[in-house]
Amino acid sequence: MNLYEKLAKELEKQIKNGAYQFGERLPSVRQLHRETSMSISTVLQTMYLLEAKGLVEARPKRGYFVTFSPNQNVQTPVVYRPTTKEGPGNIEDTIQQVYGENDQHDPITNFSIGVPSSKMLPIARLKKIVRETMLDLTDACVHYEPIMGNPYLRRQVAQRTSLWENGLSPDDLITTNGCMNALALAMMAITKKGDRIITESPVYFGTIQLAKSLGLHVIEMPTHSNYGLDIEEVKKTMKKIDIAAVIVVSNFSNPLGYNMSVQSKRALVKICTSHQVPLIEEDLYGDVFFGTERPLPCKSFDQKGIVLWCSSVSKTLAPGYRVGWIAAGKYTDRILKSKLYHNVSSSSLSHEVVARFMDKGRYDNHLRQLRVALHHNLLKYLQVIQEYFPENTKTTFPNGGFLLWIELDPRIDTSQLYEPALNLGIKYAPGRMFTLRDQYKNCLRLSFGLDWNEQTATALTKLGLLLQHQLVSY
Ligand SMILES: Cc1ncc(COP(=O)(O)O)c(C=O)c1O
């Protein structure tokens, strides 16, 4: 870390812990220059960094002022306890409404979408690599790949695990068509109709829909919005009933955005190992961290091959390329069979392109920029939410990814407000979609992966005003 980044980090900490409050002036550039012995230009770089993150603003001839205070009005939700009551109706209708094709509302600000905006993706560089790949490879990637998948990609992914206690080898990895395909192969390989699986709550709607389609019973577990699955509850449940698998999004989960602590990850792996229950870990947001280093996955603590680690580049690079992978430990052979019957092969061209992109550090360079852009967005979103959303709004404060979970006054039903919001040109994901239980009606998920511009800021403000208006009408 450079000197200016260190100073920025220290000041950011003090802004976030309230030592410097909204509207207060930071020490002047000259003062910081004297106190830290850094050059004026280094101190200025610190300020530019804080400015880019939406934490301070420069006022001509007066200095830098704090523009952020996350905890002034907006609180963080705490533990979500699933109710025993089943949800009314079918959440598929809501999913169809939000993600179906028939979008006649234009222009729309789509906060429901689960990928970063195209402007944050390295499209020009990818185009170049696609062209180079086609020229370099004599067979133009027309053939089926070996069943394990592209060896070059598996090597690149294995290299990315070199900081783990027990890093992976290329032979531990099987490529898949995205993370959803990895999840589906895992669930098909280790569960059978009628089995029970454990998930967090709220949970990614794709997971519950897939489980339902396989005839599985989903047991949603209490989940803390900062730390994730309640491990003690998982333990109790496993002692009482047979569980076929646990599914968890360990790093910057969808929708809560939490990051499980290292202790929780270790504990979960230990419980699953002692009960011989496979742990399916989805880790597709882990590369988008806002701290200093990538959080480790549960897989890195897995000694017995009980964890099936699933990931993809869909949230960081190219959702349409369908490039993902799974490290399935002792279930590898079952996954290979499942892949053979369901997929035959992954998509050769896009997997080769991503391997090339990862090689030579291009992926890491891109990730560095993506993280700064998304962190900046998060802070901007929180500012608007604090200012325009109703006073008793609670919002998560994720340390990575690009999903915000918002809990509103219990009288608000975000499914009912969906149409009025759409009429204002705003889409979001209603909370009902993230459970099979009868809850989260007063919640919604927002993506902060959109470009931060006037349209986004206005749409977010309008959404806040709509919610305020709704409350007044009760
Ligand atoms: C938890 C989770 N799993 C899977 C997926 C789908 O990933 P992919 O596009 O790599 O299949 C998503 C996308 O939103 C997700 O959030």
What are 127-158's pLDDT values in tens digits? 999 999 999 988 888 888 999 999 999 999 99
Rounded to whole angstroms, how far apart are CA atoms 156 and 158? 5
pLDDT for 280: 98
CB contact at 8 A, 462 and 386: no
Ligand 1 centre distance from Cα of residue 470 (Å): 32
Binding site membership of 206 for ligand 1 (Cβ less than 6 Å) = yes
Indicate whether residue 254 lines ligand 1 (CB < 6 A): yes
The amino acid present at 376, given as its one-letter code, is H
State the residue for tokens 């306890």: 81
Instruction: Quote the tokens at residue 242.
Output: 């047979």
- Let me know the angle formed at the C-alpha of 17 by 16 and 19, rounded to the nearest 5 degrees: 105
What whole-number distance in Å separates Cα of residue 372 and Cα of residue 390? Answer: 28
Provide the token pair at 113.
Answer: 């979408």
CB environment 269-305: b (16+ within 10 A), e (fewer): bebbbebebbbbbbbbbbbbbbeeebbbbbbbbbeeb
Alpha helices in 315-453 (DSSP H): 332-342, 348-358, 362-388, 418-423
| 249 C-beta closer than 6 A to ligand 1 | yes
Can you state the angle between helices 454-472 and 362-388, rounded to 10 degrees? 40
**The pLDDT value given to residue 102:** 58
Closest-CA residue to 426 (of 388, 370, 386, 374): 388
Query: Three-state DSSP class for 385?
Result: helix
145 lines ligand 1 (CB under 6 A): no
77, two tokens: 């939700």
Can you tell me the distance from the alpha carbon of 223 to that of 214, in angstroms, rounded to the nearest whole number? Answer: 24
Distances (CA, A) of 184 to 195, 440, 448: 15, 26, 27
Question: For 34-62, what is each residue's pLDDT tens digit?
Answer: 999 999 999 999 999 888 777 887 776 77
* Cα(180) to centroid(ligand 1), Å: 5
Q: Cα 198 to chain center, whole Å?
A: 20
CA 439 – CA 76 distance, rounded (Å): 18
Which residue puts its alpha carbon closest to atom 4 of ligand 1? Answer: 180
Question: Is CATH 3.40.50.300 what the domain over 3-66 is classified as, yes or no?
Answer: no
CB-CB neighbours of 29 under 10 Å: 18
Q: pLDDT tens track of the chain, all 474 residues?
A: 789 999 999 999 998 887 887 667 899 999 999 999 999 999 999 999 888 777 887 776 778 888 776 655 567 777 888 887 887 767 888 888 888 865 555 689 999 999 999 999 999 999 999 999 999 988 888 888 999 999 999 999 999 999 898 899 999 999 999 999 999 999 999 999 999 999 999 999 999 999 999 999 999 999 988 889 999 999 999 999 999 999 999 999 999 999 999 999 999 999 999 999 999 999 999 999 987 789 999 999 999 999 999 999 999 999 999 999 999 999 999 999 999 999 998 999 999 999 999 998 899 999 999 998 998 899 889 889 988 999 889 999 888 999 999 999 999 999 999 999 999 999 999 999 999 998 999 999 999 999 999 999 999 999 999 999 999 888
310 with 280: CB under 8 angstroms?
yes
Q: How remote is the CA of residue 311 from the centroid of ligand 1, in Å?
A: 8
Q: What is the largest CA-CA distance in the chain?
A: 69
Separation of CA 25 and ligand 1 centre (Å): 42
Distance separating alpha carbons of residues 374 and 116, to the nearest angstrom: 8
Query: 16 alpha carbon to ligand 1 midpoint, in Å?
Result: 31
Cβ atoms 404, 70 nearer than 8 A: no
Q: Is the CB of 179 under 6 A from ligand 1?
A: yes
For 43, phi then psi, to 5°, come to: -65, -40
Residue linked to tokens 């986004």: 456
- Residue 299 CA to residue 281 CA, distance in Å, equals 8
Q: If you measure from the C-alpha of residue 205 to the centroid of ligand 1, how many angstroms do you get, rounded to a whole number?
A: 10
The reply to whether ligand 1 has any atom less than 6 angstroms from the CB of 324 is: yes
Residue 313 contacts residue 114 (beta carbons within 8 Å): no
**What end-to-end distance do the CA atoms of the chain give, in Å?**
52
451 CA to centre of ligand 1 in angstroms: 21
Helical (H) or strand (E) element with 151: helix 151-159
CA distance 314 to 132: 22
Burial call 126-143: b when 16+ CB within 10 Å, e when fewer: beebbeebeeeeeeebee
CB of 250 shorter than 6 A to ligand 1: no
Residues 151 and 153: their CA atoms lie apart, in Å, by 5
The verdict on the CB of residue 95 being under 6 Å from ligand 1 is no
CB 214 within 8 Å of CB 187: yes
Using the 8-state DSSP alphabet, how is residue 24 labeled? Answer: P
Which residue, 224, 212, 285, is CA-closest to 254?
285
260 touches 223 (CB < 8 A)? no
CATH number of 124-363: 3.40.640.10
- Predicted pLDDT at 360: 81
Contact yes or no for 393/418 (Cβ under 8 A)? no
Instruction: Looking at the structure, give the CATH architecture of the domain made up of residues 79-120+365-472.
Output: Alpha-Beta Complex (3.90)
45 Cβ closer than 6 Å to some ligand 1 atom: no
Question: In 3-state terms, what secondary structure has residue 458?
Answer: helix
Of 312, 260, 250, nearest in space to 281 by CA: 250
Nearest to 255 by CA among 277, 223, 209: 223
Domains of the chain, by residue range, sit at 3-66, 79-120+365-472, 124-363
398 lines ligand 1 (CB under 6 A): no
**pLDDT score at 149:** 97
Whether the CA torsion 43, 34, 290, 269 is positive or negative: it is positive
**10 Å Cβ neighbour count for 218?**
20
